[in-house]
Amino acid sequence: MAELEELLQVATDMLDRAYTPYSHFHVGAAVVGASGKIYGGCNIENASYGLTNCAERTAIFSGIAAGEKKFTALLVTGDTEQAIAPCGACRQVITEFFDQDAVIYLTNQKGALAETTVAGILPGAFLALK
Ligand code: THU
């Protein structure tokens, strides 16, 4: 299966695992580790709302916990009208673990697909210590 289709499949499967008793808004994400393995993530909410972990960060942190050091691609999806995009906090975390030209796929469950890069979603990122 091509990378894009596989990422979309994994991220879509993650939608069912989202823990969203507060927003009821399910988000799924998938990332490709430098090893070539794919890791999925879902959003995980908390009664203390600010502790919510977005799907993108769950996917990245799962990969890091599995031994990855870097990632080459990320896809995010949701059951929305428009393709969904990572929040600002996730953009900063993505910047930590991806090269600036790594591919970011923004999708929904209706076939919308926009392709961008890490630099495209967080221009002017703080890179001085990387
Ligand atoms: N959410 C994500 O998981 N990823 C995003 O990029 C945007 C927002 C989640 C957080 C929260 O559980 C719900 O969507 C509503 O904000």
Domain 2-121: which topology?
Cytidine Deaminase; domain 2 (3.40.140)
- CA 102 to CA 99: how far, in whole Å? 5
Q: What is the pLDDT of residues 17-72, one digit of tens each?
A: 999 999 999 999 999 999 999 999 999 999 999 999 999 999 999 999 999 999 99
Q: Which helix (H) or strand (E) holds 93?
A: helix 88-97
Residue ranges per structural domain of the chain: 2-121
Cα–Cα distance between 89 and 86 in angstroms, integer?
Answer: 8
Whole-prediction pTM: 0.98
Ligand 1 contacts (CB < 6 A) are 20, 23, 25, 27, 43, 45, 52, 54-56, 76, 86-87, 90
Mean pLDDT of the chain: 98
Please give the pLDDT value at position 47: 98
| Residue in 15, 23, 31, 43 to alter for ligand 1 test, most ligand atoms within 8 A of Cβ | 43
The residue ranges of DSSP E strands in 34-70, in sequence order, are 38-42
The pLDDT of residue 1: 74
d(CA 24, CA 9): 21
Q: Catalytic residues, which ones?
A: 56
Q: What's residue 40's pLDDT?
A: 98
- Of all protein residues, the one whose alpha carbon is nearest to atom 13 of ligand 1 is 25
Interval 93-103 mean pLDDT:
98
